[in-house]
Amino acid sequence: DQLPVRPDSFSFNAVIQQWARARTPEGGRRAERILDRMLEFHHNGNADVRPDERSFAYIIYHFTKGAGRMAPDAPDRALKLLRRMVRMFRQGYKELLPAYDNRTNPIFAFTSVIDAHSVLRRPDAGIVGNELLDAMTKLGGSVDALKPNTYACLSVLYGWSSCGSVDAGERATELLRKMEEDMADVAARTWDCEEEEEEISIMRTTQRCYILAQTAWARSPSERKAEGALEVLEMMEANYAIGNMDAKPTVQAYSMVLNACAFADMVQDEKGRLVKGTPENQRRAFDVAQHTLDRVRGEPHPGVRPNPVIYGTFIKCCGRLNLPDDIAIKAAARAFEDCCRRGLVSDFVLTQIRYALPPETFLKALVKNGYRDLDKNGKTLSRDGKRIRHILLRELPKAWTKNVESRF
């Protein structure tokens, strides 16, 4: 009270910014205390002190992108701050989420909080993302910068792909459908108005949107994970077919379906426990995997053709799923033969075929495809017929590996 000047909003924000930029986790807590002091000054009638978007954004950044992001409670602190910020905005503090362009885009505060949960694979990442997407949708009516766009939707899809909940795939697919519906609505408006310049949906789907939705299915303990990942691939293909060049299917999209099939052996029961899937469910997953492999073999889109990941993941399906031996062994052997013929055998493929086939069948598969040096350096079976020395990739015929890129 004895000082000739009193702190104003600029002073408080400057101190908050410095603490938030501190390279120690304690900086965020100190910044929060300064924010609390700022709000106390404001509520006590100091007209020069009023929080704005920077007052909260600096601290949120500290807990999501800065030095405080590694603290176990960092996502919770950031979410609490964001909820407080939105609550005050609805109470009349419009400067917290400005409707005009400035240095701080309010959408980044929302997406950074979602990403903070997703990076740590928090089980609530999808739920938090959905909550904040709903908030952005409602606030977008008065704040244009908060209208959900592709960037925001990607953060929410990332949350569903990270949380591992049983409904993650369903929720991610539901969001994809909303994005596609928005694209269709915008296209219809453009057609009706006959505008010279085509309007583009701000929720336009991209390759990454579909890949994240497939990842949500693959990591979900749902009985429908194989069918769900295939459904997303078909959505991707249909959207590309009507002109969305950003949704062009990639070989990764096909491998993600195979990956979902490979882990369809475990599902969540009514009590939330992970248990083995039924033989019928695993057989359906195998049928999806076989269908997907057959499609990618035919190069369904330019540049989309089998690679070592495709073959290795399909063979992994044969090894993990509970299938009749004649089906699993024959399918794995056929895939390995085709892989050898195309020169796409990598360490991943070799590891998976060794795991999927019994030792004697594994050796026969090698011989059938041109491997001739079984007896050199102890590569034969052990006396009990259950073990075989590890065969290195460099020992295989060159024709088997000639088309494998270094990244595989």
> Measuring CA to CA, which residue among 123, 209, 134, 129 is closest to residue 166?
123
pLDDT at 387: 58
pLDDT at 105: 77
pLDDT at 378: 43
> Measuring CA to CA, which residue among 160, 157, 202, 200 is closest to residue 176?
157
Q: Compute the half-sphere exposure of residue 351: CA atoms within 13 Å on the CB side of its CA.
A: 7
CB 216 within 8 A of CB 157: yes
How far is CA 241 from each of CA 107, 173, 246, 247, rounded to the nearest angstrom? Answer: 31, 19, 11, 9
pLDDT at 392: 80
- Other Cβ atoms within 10 Å of 298 Cβ, number: 9
Q: Compute the half-sphere exposure of residue 171: CA atoms within 13 Å on the CB side of its CA.
A: 24
Cα–Cα dist 192/341, whole Å: 53
Amino acid at 229: A
Cα–Cα dist 64/74, whole Å: 7
| CA 279 to chain CA mean position, Å | 28
Sign of the torsion formed by the C-alpha atoms of 147, 150, 152 and 156: positive
- Specify the 3-state DSSP secondary structure of 165: coil
Cα–Cα dist 42/305, whole Å: 63
Sequence-separated (6 or more) residues with CB below 8 Å from residue 145: 97, 98, 99, 101, 105, 106, 107
Instruction: Report residues of the chain scoring pLDDT below 70.
Output: 1-4, 99-104, 191-198, 373-389, 407-408
